[in-house]
Amino acid sequence: MADAAEFARETEPYRRELFAHCYRMLGSVFDAEDLVQETYLRAWRHYDGFEGRSSVRTWLHQIATNGCLTALARRRDADRRVLPSGLGPPQPDVETAALDPDQRQHWLQPVPDAWVTPESGDPASVVAAREGVRLALVASLQHLPPKQRAVLVLRDVLAFPAAEVADMLQTSTASVKSSLQRARATLKEQAPTAERTTEPTAPQARAVLAKYIKAFENADADALTRLLLQDASIEAPPIRAWFKGVETCIPVLRDHVLGDPGLWRMVPVAGGANGHPAAVGYLRDEEGRYQPYGVIVLDVVGDRIRRIVSFGDPDLVAVFRRV
């Protein structure tokens, strides 16, 4: 009979890394939580038979990866989790855009940095963990076929040797190398230039987030104009339409989002989300009570904002309250 204390001692150190892996594969914090739970249940059931031919880390990632692939095989292609910018070009203006939520589409979800960064606090490890869950990367991964997605994450993000990846996926090393080449090429097409943002712990990034929150809560479109880069973009799943360029974004925000001062309340997320500064948003209802709206993630460059992704899902508020 397996020893529960020994099992916990051997496997628990990998829980955050496994969660981040499942999140990259599935694009959903809820699905990732379920998959990690399933991984540990399967690992416990088979722990007596674990003979140490691989490391515990490799063994757990094999279980998790195959669980993700099974979950993805049940999805239709239309069910992949994406951002609005992954479905087509930006709208030229708000007058021609459909602003009704599209609840049929499965949308990418943000993840709290606190759930994926190492507990050790080693600065290099923390930076690497955040880089591995940037929104641009995770969104691009969702466009890869599941097996290619797994190979790229296991090789390029988690740095498993090709031979170990082949064993995990029950394929050949040559097949892993071929899949990796194709995945890298597709990823380059999806995101031809690697995005880099100010670390969310940097004082400058926190200051930009504070200015954004103040401008939004005060319904100050002029202040938002000063914060946005000229080619800034905004997207707000579950709304399918998205917009690019400050001349287009500001009218959208001013005329359809900001409302009157006091309509919005925002609370900064400790540590951020997906390696970016972030806030939890609340929207005042007709009775004056603030109801959960979702999570707002900013892509900050210097002292300006390059992209706003406003995830309008009230269920995410409960997730980020747990940070």
Q: What is the mean pLDDT of the chain?
A: 92
pLDDT computed for residue 118 by the predictor: 82
Quick one: average pLDDT of 290-302? 96
Q: 197 falls in which pLDDT band (50, 70, 90)?
A: very low
Residue 282 has, within 13 A of its CA and on its CB side, a CA count of 14
* Predicted pLDDT at 200: 41
Q: What is the mean pLDDT of residues 176-202?
A: 74
Listed in sequence order, the residues at least 6 apart from 279 whose beta carbon sits closer than 8 Å to its beta carbon are 209, 212, 213, 266, 267, 268, 269, 295, 296
- Give the residue extent of every domain in the chain: 78-134+195-323
Question: For the whole model, what pTM was predicted?
Answer: 0.93
Cβ–Cβ under 8 Å, residues 300 and 205: yes
150-181: per-residue pLDDT in tens? 999 999 999 999 999 999 999 999 999 999 99
pLDDT at position 52 is 75
Instruction: Of 42-46, 127-131, 226-230, give the lowest mean pLDDT range.
Output: 127-131
> Is 70 exceeded by the pLDDT of residue 121?
no
Q: Is 290 exposed, middle or buried (0-12, 13-18, 19+ CB in 10 A)?
A: middle
CATH code of the region 78-134+195-323: 3.10.450.50
